[in-house]
Amino acid sequence: MSVNVNIKEVVKEYGDFRAIDDVSLSIKEGEFFTLLGPSGCGKTTLLRMIAGFNSIEEGEIYFADKMINNEAAHKRDIGMVFQNYAVFPHLSVYDNVGYGLKARKVPKDEAAKRIQNALEVVQIEHLKDRMPSQLSGGQQQRVALARAIVIEPKILLMDEPLSNLDAKLRVQMRTTIKKLQRKLNITTIYVTHDQEEALAISDRIAVMNKGEVMQVDKPNVIYSNPSCEFVSNFIGTSNFLKGKVVADNTIEVDGYTFHKNINATVGEDVLVSVRPEQFAVSQTDEGLAGEIVLSTFLGDFISYDIELANGQSIEVNEYTQNIDEAKPEGPVKVCLSAKDINVFDAEGKVNLNA
Amino acid sequence: MLNKIKAIRWSALFTNKKTKRMDFWSISKVVVFLVFLIFLLYPFVSLFMRSFFDVDGNFSLVNFETFVSFKYYYGTLFNSLLVAVVTTISAVLIGVPLAYLTARYNVWGKRIVNVMIVMSLMSPPFIGAYSWIMLLGRNGVITNTLANIGINVPSIYGFVGIILVFTLKLYPYVYLYVSGALNSIDSSLEEAAENLGMSKFRRIMSVTFPVIMPTIAAGGIMVFMSSLADFGTPMLIGEGFKVLPVLVYEEFMSEVGGNAGLASALSIIIVSFSTIVLLFQKRVIDKKVYNMSSLRPPVVTKLRTLPRVLLSGLTFLVATITFLPQIVVVVTSFIKTKGPLFVSGFSLDSYRTIFYKLGTNIRNTFTFSFIAIIIIIVLGIIIAYLITKRRSKSSEVLDVLVMFPYVIPGAVLGIGLALAFKNPPLAITGTPIIMIVAYVIRKMPYTVRSSSAMLQQVDQSIEEASINLGVSPMRSFFKITARLMLPGIVSGAILSWISTINELSSSIMLYTGKTATISVAIYTEVVRASFGTAAALASILTLATVVSFILFHIISKGKVSVV
Ligand SMILES: Nc1ncnc2c1ncn2[C@@H]1O[C@H](COP(=O)(O)OP(=O)(O)OP(=O)(O)O)[C@@H](O)[C@H]1O
Ligand SMILES: [Mg+2]
């Protein structure tokens, strides 16, 4: 039985420092929701407010219709997977998983069934008599996961559960988690600072910075339509160019003009954000003047490091299927695919795309 | 708009108050603070105040004036400082080379040497004095033997004896600190110096020595403070050479001319000195201690047979001399006595006498210590948790309060308690309760330190995981965290226990006929020259200490340091 979570204008203060600054989020029932942001932006802080380990200075948090600000942590009925797993070192795998059921006074035979089931779901059934010290990191991570889901919580919280694993296991485990979440249909709030992981796993993502939420949306929207310079920069790679609106829906960058439907007035300075694949080496004489400094063959595509006339370096990617071989180093013109790019105001705070 | 902001602020205030309702830990904190307030601060502050009043109860500096104007008084301060300085120097001179020898050379019997040295550190404080009197005193075995062949041993009483006994009793601090440091220097550090082409001697002087210097200083300060505060040894062996704690005792105890105001003033003087030393340590030395965890343990030099035999013999000799008092005590406890004199032949008479005459003291020691240890464990766990996991202004204060008894000599704490609780509403002076209070306050640091060291390694999120799974915070603490810090708690509690059963300096200020403990009885027996019974009592303490220490060793698995 999962619930929706409503976070309304919450604030967390450490002394004078606002770690969470007026954050509002509304997370749907059964949704896989991710908090994504750079280190120190307040992801853990917010998650711990939901779990009940941090006080809430202002605002309210609701599970379904129930305000839980003053509900003690042990009564919130939340499953949580800690960053360092926090597996109880003195209990066997089986007892670790059964711990929450004991606290809930679940009858013995039912508990046994549920523990068995949880162990099978995360595929560590064969390890149930081991002590945590005899487990690998990935196995401990599964114990933590089994322990959190066996209580059939209303909400599942995960704080960077994969950050201690090696790259290969990380990809494998994230698939496991995603499938499991689908199957159990628990409202899940997942924390990570790894944008690739967030894009791969989430239904929706909240991008955070310095205690504030910058954008909440589906992964594809966040990638293709970032709300501001920060998001555009944090998710994927973006090149930023200074431009000016010279006529209605016409932007000029360093002598190169192109059309783009935007909500801006003529004469306004803008920031143009271009993904490497939204650039192309121009076949004509039109485009930004620059010089190929380095070209790197990367299989699917070739990456050019191009120095523009104003000294700025940009990254340009060209898919190999469209071309025969890498352009030689030397002067080129670069054009861009105007309909795909994003244009922000000069401060990078507002997306002006129409 | 403004109204809305105001409304939010108000609701925030309100919820804040609600979430901060009294939980288990806030209540515990209040209780712990009350304990310290009543049984540590109040006695100490009133002792401090009392030192500024004359016999008639008027405010005056007469006590301090008396102190500075009579050599009889201020001389003891010089004596105390002289003893402390000389003891510290000789302890360093023995402890450091010995530590280096055992850490860096393949001498035989390192473990036995270690056990002997630790055991003597844990032994009752005054059996050193007693045993050396037995050996080298006026009627000592060695004295008499040598006298028979015409050699006169210089007198052991006074300054020389105090230094001898203190040095042998306290150099183990330096030895244990420095051994620890030497074993944790990463070998690459010294190898680097070797690579740079330094000779071995220069390497020791320029790399090893500076690195362990702060540790030597820390050990030295322990020696300094202990020799400044100790009371039993100079009392027994000092005779005409009077140190400050002995003077405090006499001023406080003597029926005629006893002066609580003066005793208080003297107490304050000792405490100021040890506080200065401790602050010096906290400010200057602690900052310089290198916390190294050695990745590659240092290389142990393999000696050839002859040097190996010689150096092993030397280490063993020093350890044996250190351990000698315990042997002497046990042996003499089985020797036949006739009044104060030992006669030839063995017997169990001394034991018969003590069980017949002094059974109460034995019972007292173990009952008081047992009750004290239970309280120490409960308070110790809570305090350890508050100061390691609930960092706040008040827990920092608590941290200082717990360690404060370190700088207060037992005799001073005893006087403070005795005076403070003489009158109603809390007239507990003379009862077992006050003995137990003194033990709890004075011996708690061991348990707190070792528990909090263990607790630091228990991740906070493990307890949170339990709460998160639906177990209340208090039960989570006892089910998970306390369980995980158990080895630390038990090891610390055993150290507290060993130190409590051997406690003399506060007991002697607080006991009455009914509440006298073994230590007190040993002291009074020695003063009465009943050496046989004193030895039997001391043997019982030694046995209890040995058994406890073995337990400690098994439980701590060598992970908890005794110093
Ligand atoms: N107990 C605390 N006292 C004071 N400041 C804190 C405390 N805990 C966190 N902070 C601060 O709050 C901010 C947010 O911390 P938080 O742990 O939530 O970051 P995070 O987004 O989880 O980062 P990471 O990805 O590194 O885990 C940081 O600037 C941190 O320094
Ligand atoms: Mg974090």
pLDDT in tens, A256-279: 899 999 998 899 999 999 999 999
| Residues of chain B neighbouring A147 (CB-CB closer than 8 A) | 465, 469
- Cβ atoms B446, B492 nearer than 8 A: yes
Cβ distance of B480 and A56 shorter than 8 Å: no
Whole-number mean pLDDT of chain B?
Answer: 82
Cα–Cα dist A233/B530, whole Å: 87
What does the pLDDT look like over A299-343, one tens digit per residue?
888 899 999 988 899 999 988 776 667 778 888 899 999 899 999
Q: Quick one: average pLDDT of B108-131?
A: 85
Please report, for chain B, the start and end positions of each structural domain, with discontinuous segments joined by +.
56-331, 333-563
Report the length, in residues, of chain A.
Answer: 354
Q: Distance from the CA of B275 to the center of ligand 2, in angstroms?
A: 42
Cβ-based neighbours of B550, under 8 Å, separated by 6 or more = none
Q: Do domains B56-331 and B333-563 have the same CATH topology?
A: yes
Q: Whose CA is nearest to atom 1 of ligand 1?
A: A14
Q: Distance from the CA of A29 to the center of ligand 1, in angstroms?
A: 28
Both structure tokens of A284: 């004509």
Task: Give the DSSP letter string of B218-257.
Answer: HHHHHHHHHHHH--HHHHHH-TTS--HHHHHHHHHH-TTT
| pLDDT tier for residue B297 given thresholds of 50, 70 and 90 | low
Give the class (CATH, top level) of B56-331.
mainly alpha
Q: Which of 3.30.300.30, 1.10.10.10, 1.10.3720.10, 3.40.50.2000 would CATH assign to domain B333-563?
A: 1.10.3720.10
Return the best residue to mutate from A17, A18, A83, A213 for the ligand 1 pocket (most ligand atoms within 8 A of CB): A17
Q: Is the CB of A88 under 6 A from ligand 1?
A: no
| Residues of chain A neighbouring B459 (CB-CB closer than 8 A) | 84, 86
| pLDDT tier for residue B293 given thresholds of 50, 70 and 90 | low
Q: Distance from the CA of A44 to the center of ligand 2, in angstroms?
A: 4
Q: What are the DSSP E strand ranges found in B304-433?
A: 335-338, 341-346
What does the pLDDT look like over A83-138, one tens digit per residue?
888 899 889 999 999 999 998 899 999 999 999 999 988 888 999 899 988 888 88
User: Chain B residue with minimal CA distance to A144?
Assistant: B465
Cβ distance of A58 and B11 shorter than 8 Å: yes
Q: Distance from the CA of A287 to the center of ligand 2, in angstroms?
A: 44
Cβ distance of B467 and A70 shorter than 8 Å: no
Q: Quick one: average pLDDT of B13-35?
A: 68
Strands A155-159 and A187-192: parallel
**Closest-lying ligand to the alpha carbon of A21?**
1
Which one-letter amino acid corresponds to residue A167?
A
CB pairs under 8 A between A and B: 80
The predicted pLDDT at position B474 comes to 86
DSSP 8-class letter at B259: -
Cα–Cα dist B132/B233, whole Å: 11
**Closest-lying ligand to the alpha carbon of A82?**
2
Q: Is the pLDDT at A34 greater than 90, yes or no?
A: yes
Higher pLDDT: A62 or B22? It is A62
Q: Which residues surround ligand 2, an ion (CB under 5 A)?
A: A 44
The predicted pLDDT at position A6 comes to 93
- Which atom, in ligand 1's list, is nearest to the CA of A48? 18
Cβ distance of B470 and A83 shorter than 8 Å: no
Higher pLDDT: B54 or A149? It is A149
How far CA A273 is from CA of A33, A346, A351, in Å, comes to 26, 11, 10
Q: Is the CB of A41 under 6 A from ligand 1?
A: yes
Rounded to two decimals, what is the model's pTM?
0.77
| pLDDT tier for residue B292 given thresholds of 50, 70 and 90 | low
Q: Which residue has the tokens 């296991």?
A: A169
Both structure tokens of A265: 């007035």
| pLDDT tier for residue B256 given thresholds of 50, 70 and 90 | low
| pLDDT tier for residue B72 given thresholds of 50, 70 and 90 | confident
The predicted pLDDT at position B350 comes to 79
